[in-house]
Structure 1
Amino acid sequence: MSLHAFDTASLPVTPWKNGGGSTREIACWPPGAGLGDFEWRLSIATIAASGPFSVFPGIDRTIMLLAGDGVHLRSAEHAVDHRLATLHRPYAFSGDVPLDCTLLGGASSDFNIMVRRGRWHAKLQVLESAALLHSATHGMLLALRGQWELDGVSTIDCVEGEGLWWADAPHAWHARPDGADARLLAVRFDPCRDQTDNRRPDK
């Protein structure tokens, strides 16, 4: 599958049914998959009001604050008790756990990754300097601050809020910032190893 460039400012906005926020979907795999059958999903959420987080059984989630004062995530059993208040610091948690989300101030914007547990693993990096990103068959790059030159099959320039994603085709990148205080989010998805491959034969 070819590369897909995007600008977060122009992504379609889907309001939540409970009125507490909205979602801008960046990508969902496989094509045409819905919330019940996706393999991995990338999106940006605007949280405008405190309330419960949706439960996604069998899904591993990662959330990262992009803008705003942040949120406090808590579960009833206190297995999760996390203040998401630092920009660009990812936090991973299970989608199985019912969570209550409390705004720490005004509305917040968050980057979200969801993967089907046991099938995919997501790795995130927030880059602040030039880096070589090894080949990944599924992935995404998003300029968080400043301007970046992405050198792969072609050279692509991205400014804050712009990025690209790809799936089902390997891509490697040399990412270079243009100036100081630049940040780039790099995400790669790798299929989980089949656990049956590690079983020892019966004696």
Structure 2
Amino acid sequence: MDILRCKDIPATPWKNGGGMTQVLARQAPNWRISLASITRDGPYSIFPDTMRHQTIVQGKGIWLRGDTDQMELPFGAGRCFRGATPVAAKLMDGPVKALNVIWDPDTTDVRVAECTKPDRHVPNSNTTFLWFALRGCFVVDRYKVDEGDAVLSTDAHMPTPDAGSRIIAVSLRKTA
């Protein structure tokens, strides 16, 4: 189990130069979890043969615009879309941070959901879990996890949230 203090994770430029990313965890070439700082309107990088899930974890939100549709992502909301889909972000009201999960759907099954109470996961040697403190904090295996930080585990440790806390739960199960 790893406690991820996000303020201590270095940021690197996006592949397209339009923003910065902090990689929280990766299992190349199957998946990557990162925090993206989006400070201006603009296009996203293309990731062929992948799926993406994005949750706004700081700031008011964005609109994602594709060729044929627009998706609203306010704070706390998440959406899944194909990595090869050309999309651009338009900020609603100032900069945001987004929790991004990018994965190969041929090798990995991913679930992303908000949980407000301890969730019972079945430990599985092929599964990695990440819990992100969206609002408030939580405790996992005696460790306090503050807002904006995360826990990465392959042992399915259960988070115990403080009253009013909001947690984003990510599970990544290797399928091939």
TM-score, normalised by the number of residues in structure 2: 0.89
From 146, 149, 156, the counterpart of 2:143: 156
User: Could you say which residue in structure 2 is the equivalent of 1:176?
Assistant: 160
The amino acid of 2:97's aligned partner reads S
1:74 to 2:65 alignment: yes
From 128, 132, 151, the counterpart of 1:138: 128
SS in 2 for 1:172: coil
Which structure 1 residue ranges, 5 or more long, are not aligned? 31-37, 195-203
User: Could you say which residue in structure 2 is the equivalent of 1:47?
Assistant: 38
Q: Aligned residues: percent identity?
A: 28
C-alpha distance in 2 between matches for 1:134 and 1:17: 36
RMSD over aligned CA atoms reads: 1.8
Cα pair 2:60 2:92 within 8 Å, conserved: yes
SS in 2 for 1:9: helix
Q: CA deviation at 1:66?
A: 0.8
Which structure 2 residue ranges, 5 or more long, are not aligned? none
Decide which structure has the larger Cα Rg and report it.
Answer: 1
Write out aligned runs for 1:24-173 (5 A).
24-30=22-28, 38-76=29-67, 78=68, 80-85=69-74, 87-136=75-124, 137-151=127-141, 155-166=142-153, 170-173=154-157
User: Could you say which residue in structure 2 is the equivalent of 1:23?
Assistant: 21
Superposed CA deviations along residues 98-118 of structure 1, whole A, max 9, x for unmatched, are 112212221111110001121
The number of residues matched between the two structures is 174
C-alpha distance in 1 between matches for 2:164 and 2:64: 29
Superposed CA deviations along residues 145-191 of structure 1, whole A, max 9, x for unmatched, are 2221213xxx322121222213xxx412232123x211122111112
SS in 2 for 1:54: coil
Q: CA deviation at 1:17?
A: 6.2
Q: Structure 2 vs 1, CA of residues 13 and 123 (structure 1 numbering), >3 Å: closer, same or farther?
A: same
The amino acid of 2:27's aligned partner reads W
Q: Structure 2 vs 1, CA of residues 22 and 183 (structure 1 numbering), >3 Å: closer, same or farther?
A: same
- After alignment, is 103-112 or 14-23 more displaced? 14-23
Q: Structure 2 vs 1, CA of residues 7 and 70 (structure 1 numbering), >3 Å: closer, same or farther?
A: same
